């Protein structure tokens, strides 16, 4: 909530959705997609771009902060669906608050989206997941210590990551693995001991996004699909140091596979 305007985060999302409808000329969108680190090269496979807008022209979005994320929102036509594609996200580590992290998700819900596709680049704990391997998120562990929801709203997170949508992905790509995504606050990567802990508590993927957005999406009544692109082995799993440039490179190398997956799944969501 902002003291100056008295607007709730939901009011801000309504305002942003109204502006998006105006700027795109699309009254209602059906599905939203957030592209994470390494996913940008797959964007054109999603469908025909109708309009691309700058996040700075939409209320309550900040500018993009990370290389490889562009501050743009596209309205894409994919099959019979109007798809809202966020080419960047606000991360928790930017320190703008949890409401800013989930503003895109709430805007998508206010724009009419029934389903939220959350993608990310992350570290993998399984050595068989070489850089460029996509993994379906089956569940998550939120280590940020916070929630996008304020107040006594006890949202059920059972089957947060829709079994139906995971099955749909497997129809498109039968061999897809799945795993539990652990969100650390970042922006530093984990220590090897923290990665071991993530494994001991049931995690398979480590990253800095997605869980807060998934919770906000569920709160808004959307169906959630989470797909991680393992761009690096998590710290200590391999003896290589971690580097953001390898993330971007893994994305470029995997772009056609990720594009084919998203392009086939999204219109059927």
DSSP designation for 173: S
Instruction: Report how far residue 252's alpha carbon sits from residue 86's, in angstroms, rounded to the nearest whole number.
Output: 18
| Shorter beta-carbon distance to ligand 8IG: residue 10 or 93 | 93
Sign of CA dihedral 193, 199, 202, 207: positive
In three-state secondary structure terms, 155 is: coil
What contacts 48, CB < 8 A, 6 or more positions away? 76, 77, 78
156, 241 contact by CB (below 8 A): no
Tokens linked to 267: 């219109």
| Shorter beta-carbon distance to ligand 8IG: residue 123 or 148 | 123
The residue range among 5-13, 55-63, 74-82, 181-189 that interacts with ligand 8IG, by the rule CB under 6 A, is 181-189
The least distance separating ligand 8IG from the CB of residue 207, rounded to whole angstroms, comes to 4
Closest residue to ligand 8IG, judged by C-beta, is 123
121 binds ligand 8IG (CB under 6 A): yes
The least distance separating ligand 8IG from the CB of residue 229, rounded to whole angstroms, comes to 8
| Shorter beta-carbon distance to ligand 8IG: residue 79 or 186 | 186
Sign of CA dihedral 235, 130, 87, 32: negative
- Kindly identify the residues of this chain, within the stretch 26-45, that bind ligand 8IG according to CB under 6 A: 37
Residues 216-245 as x/- pattern, contact with ligand 8IG by CB under 6 A:
---------------xx-x-------x---
The least distance separating ligand 8IG from the CB of residue 19, rounded to whole angstroms, comes to 31
Catalytic residue among 27, 127, 190, 213: 190
The least distance separating ligand 8IG from the CB of residue 242, rounded to whole angstroms, comes to 6
208 binds ligand 8IG (CB under 6 A): yes
Instruction: Report how far residue 241's alpha carbon sits from residue 261's, in angstroms, rounded to the nearest whole number.
Output: 29
The least distance separating ligand 8IG from the CB of residue 189, rounded to whole angstroms, comes to 5
Residue 194 annotated in active site: no
HSE of 40, CA atoms in CB hemisphere, 13 A: 16
> Taking Cα atoms as reference points, which of 27, 106, 113, 25 lies closest to residue 61?
106
Instruction: Report how far residue 198's alpha carbon sits from residue 125's, in angstroms, rounded to the nearest whole number.
Output: 9
Which residue ranges make up the site for ligand 8IG (CB under 6 A)? 37, 121-123, 184, 186, 189-190, 206-208, 231-232, 234, 242, 247
Q: Give the residue numbers marked as catalytic.
A: 190
């Amino acid at each position: 909530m902002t003291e100056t305007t008295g607007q709730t985060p939901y009011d801000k999302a309504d305002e942003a959705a109204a502006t998006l409808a105006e700027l795109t000329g699309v009254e209602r969108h059906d599905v939203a997609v957030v592209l994470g680190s390494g996913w940008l090269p797959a964007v054109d496979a999603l469908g025909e771009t109708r309009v691309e807008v700058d996040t700075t022209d939409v209320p309550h979005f900040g500018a993009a902060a990370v290389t490889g994320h562009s501050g743009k929102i596209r309205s894409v036509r994919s099959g019979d669906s109007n798809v809202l594609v966020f080419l960047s996200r606000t991360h928790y580590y930017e320190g703008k608050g949890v409401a800013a992290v989930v503003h895109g998700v709430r805007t998508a819900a206010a724009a009419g989206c029934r389903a939220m596709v959350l993608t990310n680049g992350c570290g993998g704990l399984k050595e068989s997941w070489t850089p460029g391997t996509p993994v379906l998120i089956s569940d998550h562990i939120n280590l940020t210590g916070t929630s996008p929801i304020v107040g006594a709203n006890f949202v059920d997170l059972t089957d947060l990551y829709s079994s139906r949508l995971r099955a749909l992905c497997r129809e498109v790509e039968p061999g897809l693995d799945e795993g539990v995504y652990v969100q650390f606050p970042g922006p530093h990567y984990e220590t090897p001991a923290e990665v071991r802990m993530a494994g001991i508590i049931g995690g398979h993927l480590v990253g800095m996004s997605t869980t807060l957005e998934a919770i906000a999406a569920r709160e808004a009544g959307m169906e959630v699909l989470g797909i991680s692109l393992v761009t690096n082995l998590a710290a200590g799993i391999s003896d290589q140091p971690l580097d953001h440039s390898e993330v971007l490179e893994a994305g470029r190398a995997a772009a056609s596979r990720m594009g084919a997956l998203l392009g086939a799944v999204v219109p059927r969501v």
